[in-house]
Structure 1
Amino acid sequence: MGFLSRWKEKKKQKLAEQQELAEQRQRQIRVWQTEDLSQYAAKIDGLILKKNEYGYLAIPELITWNEDRTRTKRVNYAGPTASIHIMKGLNYRVGSVSVNTEKTTKIVPIFTGAVFLTNKRIFLVNHQGSKAINLSGIVQIIPYTDGVALFRESGKRILLTGFSDAERFNIYLQRILNNDYGLIAEEKSQNKTTTQMSQESNASEIQKKEISNDDPRLQFSESFTVAKDTAIKRAEELCKEDKLYANNNTDLDPEMAVIAYVLPIYHYADLLYKKGEWIQAEDQWLSILPKMPNHVGEKLAIMYRKEKRYRNEVEVINAAIKYTEHAVPIYAHSDSLMMRKTKAQSLLSAKLDEDKSIVTKF
């Protein structure tokens, strides 16, 4: 085969690969446009959602909220002028003077964080806080490959930028604005998969582990405080809401499968913790630390510090940071853990003689 023939063959192969990628992309877009969005409906850990508000998509990238800012500048212009002396102390000035204004509009970044799309709001969240955009006020969107422009009934235009690929977000946003969620609840309930059924069973079978009389953690019982009734009630409500995850079809989304597994356990452990059952809570959290390292790592670190287990606090933070390397995107952020690690190490050095850590497997 000559050089020209090989070149033609490579070019043909490259074109075929490009065509295949384009077709795959179009198939994926059609899935996003037609799939049942209700399968993703879930509460968002760490955010207080409104009644009947559920999360449908999380974008674990740093997305920037931008707004237009207009600045008005005054410009004075003077044409040719002349001054005529009339008498002492009196002059007559002739000429032309005009005043103009110039308006310039700049795009200014307002907030940066991970994005969560619900059926009522768009959230941007970072370690400093969160900002939200109400979907009810949006009258038009202009999608871009790396972002979206949101136009509201009142207020400035909002630009969300920084997406590596904004296609899925824009499709879901448009569908939610049009109240297009796909299958109705009855159809969904009739099409449960084996995976869903096993998840329902898993969510309903979470049980407290028995504590042996020689468990070394019993020595920390004086630290086992009980939260306020309102906090306990809220934790109980979250446990009830976790059945939504059990009903999600996670076959198409591995990340949702992880969320469906860990979140009921996480909330149940938090309920035990608030009720003062810290040992059982610790066991539950430890069981999901590898899959939900950022949130569980912080919860355990807080518990260990209260129990004066300073070395254990450092150990669980280190373990959690390592687990984030392989966690699904929503649980892969380690910024808050890194910040806590510095303080934990300093505390361990300062209170080494007071440390009550025990052997714990992370």
Structure 2
Amino acid sequence: MSWLSASIANQKECLEGLELTRGDLRQKVEAAIVNSRGQTSNSLEVAAGIMGGQRQKTSDVGLFSESASTMQRMFKLGANLIVAKDGSGHVGSIQEAVNLVVDESLGPTFIYVKEGIYEENVVVEETKWNVYMIGDGMYSSIITGNRSSTDPEGYITSWTATLFVSGQGFVAIDMGFRNTAGPEHFQAVAAFSSSDRSIFFRCSFDAYQDTLYAHSNRQFYRDCDIIGTIDFIFGDAAAVFQRCNILPREPLPFQYNTITAQGKEQPAENTGFSIHECIIRPYEVVTRPTYLSRPWRNYSTVVVMKTEMSSVVDPAGWVPWEGSVPPDTINFAEIENTGPGADISGRVSWPGCRPAISEAEASMYTVGAFINGAEWIPLAGVPFDPNF
């Protein structure tokens, strides 16, 4: 189901990337892939029918922080490749190290990125499996770029990413990812991931609009700092954000902030964003309104639970997409949140927005049930809470 949902996300992005082309190229491509889109959608519905929509609650299996720290020290000591700006490593750039990874490796390849600011755009291609990128801290080992959608090269949104990851099983620990293009350049991605079973632990994501593109497949974010303005967590992945700091910053004077924009287009997709035990607070003084999400697609799904919200969150909570009335099929939900921004008395009254769901429903969006994290996160030595 994850792979079929990812296929739908890729087909959408293919067409969106052609929107600004001249002539009828987009229409021709859309016509050429109509059968593929239909078959993917039908296959997904069949798979969903077999699953019956059931998600099982998992047992409490997590790792203690001490064990995680020990494993990460071992990762560094046993690194296959060391990146260092001062010449003390195997290579001087992160892309050089990634290029040396054996294609489709079933075992992990450990890349230790020593402290420094690396000005490069890094691509981990689809053939680079199980890459572990371990730094010296989220604000010490930093990859930075400045590509944006306004560049004369004509980048589509995903191509602006400072880090672009599509190889499955990617793990980043103690790394920082920045896009310094600034708010006036609109879409400018710090990190893009379509990596199935990807993990980001103690990482920072720093940009403005479209900071983190959680494009597709199963993803887990733990103890991360995510900073931005408009749609700064967006995409069509099945992603859980756990114990992260979500940090809106000041946008341009005519803009407002939206923390998420989730792109679920079809009801059978197993995608959505789960924000669990996080903290939402301003990165700096924020004078413009900040909302939890806006519905990017008809089945946009965002669940916020056990999260501390400061007053930076607007009392309405959620905002329409460019003023349009959201369809009843969206799924925006909240449960057991705290802080002044969690007051639900002023929330919007859309049918698809439910400010007080049950614990049973919330449990469907946990690490264990939503992304089957107990099966693959322990391999990376990353702590997690599997249940509500």
Structure number having the greater helix percentage: 1
Q: Which TM-score applies when normalising by structure 2? A: 0.22
Specify the structure having the higher radius of gyration (Cα): 1
